[in-house]
Structure 1
């Protein structure tokens, strides 16, 4: 019985986090509207994000492979242009920041 309760609780919070992301509201405004504790929201969003498996997203190559730069198009419409000589460690940090911004953590 306890496991079912945990599954129900996780499903509830997964839905809440998804609705907030789709709402266009800030976390504070969404939580106020839904009468949800912001610290609980943040804790569950972090917990659920850590459980998610990495997802692959479609990539469109807009120039030949020999181009000097490449672009990362974000789901919100922003475009990040990255020089081809960008080192791997810096690119990894850039992508971590981009992911944090898209999640609303930054």
Structure 2
């Protein structure tokens, strides 16, 4: 196994440990004791992976924030019969999440 693959394997293993501990309801000390893991390693890997995730997460300044003009809110303009007042906007947020905004 090459070094990068080994590092990726360790990272994957520790992500799995962190997820299992979080869902176990056990304290970190109890989880590490039950899994025969050094508690200091658990904390070190948690810090490493959290640090890596925060470096990859975009800041608000980096995120594009497009503006979608849905028109004037009902009651604040003279309605035009040719315009459909019902509007539905769907935005795919990724990861299986869909944001739906409806105005009628």
Deviation by residue 1:12-66 (Cα, 9 ceiling, x = unmatched): 00000110011000000000000000000000001011111449xxxxxxxxxxx
SS at match of 2:34: helix
The aligned counterpart of 1:45 is 46
Deviation by residue 1:59-97 (Cα, 9 ceiling, x = unmatched): xxxxxxxxxxxxxxxxxxxxxxxxxxxxxxxxxxxxxxx
Q: Higher helix fraction: Structure 1 or Structure 2?
A: 1
Count the aligned residue pairs: 55
SS at match of 1:25: coil
Report the TM-score when normalising by structure 2. Answer: 0.50
Q: Distance in 2 between matches of 1:35 and 1:54?
A: 32
The aligned counterpart of 2:28 is 27
SS at match of 2:26: coil
- State how 1:1-106 maps to structure 2 within 5 Å: 1-52=2-53, 53-54=56-57
Q: Distance in 1 between matches of 2:40 and 2:28?
A: 10
Q: Higher strand fraction: Structure 1 or Structure 2?
A: 2
Report the TM-score when normalising by structure 1. Answer: 0.49
Gaps of 5+ in 2: 59-104
